[in-house]
Amino acid sequence: MPKNPIPLKWGHSYHIYNRGVNRENLFIEERNYRYFLHLYTKHITPFVETYAYCLLWNHFHFSIRVKTVNEICQTVSVVPDTVAELGQPSQKFSNLFNAYAKTINLTYRRTGSLFQRPFQRIEVTSKVYALNLITYIHKNPELHGLVDDFRTWPYSSYNALIGSAATRLSRDTILDWYGNRESMEQVHQQQIDMESIKHLVSDDF
């Protein structure tokens, strides 16, 4: 990933992922996962559609679409006078990471950076890519040997997407992409060909 990656663009879809600096754990105990998602809701949710996510010990993955400026203006209580007032999408993620790192440093008496910089991003340019990415994200805990069955990992969007409880995820969009809930479950049960998904993350991750 270049030191100065291309900024995120309004209306575009991305695979957002990153890890702890020096591969340090980002999440030390269960409440850290909840707090990170709370900050995500505060800093990111108003500006994106979230398709999938998975938080692991020392890294995370998100599949998102940055909303268009018009979409955001239709949902916020105070409409900005100019696009510049919205800031850049990339900055929203930086705000999230900075807020989380500040709390972790204070809580666990650590200092310095927590996240590797810059955070990683790959633009998602097709539905096939998007579906492969979502399946890959959900199966990440199993691929890393953290659990035997990815469905038991509590810090991913999989069970929320196949469930019926209220969610901030774009569940209807995802289920429509897969065809239906049963089709999504079947695709996730198939073995992942690791060679075919090498493009889903950068070479140095």
For residue 186, give both structure tokens: 């079947």
Q: Cβ distance 168 to 45 under 8 Å?
A: yes
82-106 mean pLDDT: 88
For residue 126, give both structure tokens: 């097709």
pTM (two decimals) = 0.91
The vertex-155 CA angle with 151 and 160, nearest 5°, equals 65
* pLDDT the model gives residue 83: 58
Q: Cβ distance 14 to 121 under 8 Å?
A: yes
- Tens-place pLDDT, residues 8-38: 999 999 999 999 999 999 999 999 999 999 9
pLDDT at 94 over 80: yes
What are the counts of helices (DSSP H) followed by strands (DSSP E) for the chain? 7, 4
For residue 191, give both structure tokens: 């073995």
Find all residues with CB under 8 Å of 48, minimum gap 6, and list them.
64, 65, 66, 67, 89
* pLDDT the model gives residue 76: 64
Distance CA 47, CA 189 (A): 32
pLDDT at 75 over 80: no
Say which DSSP state 44 is in: T
* pLDDT the model gives residue 192: 75
CATH number assigned to the domain covering 13-199: 3.30.70.1290
Q: What are the DSSP E strand ranges found in 82-172? A: 120-124
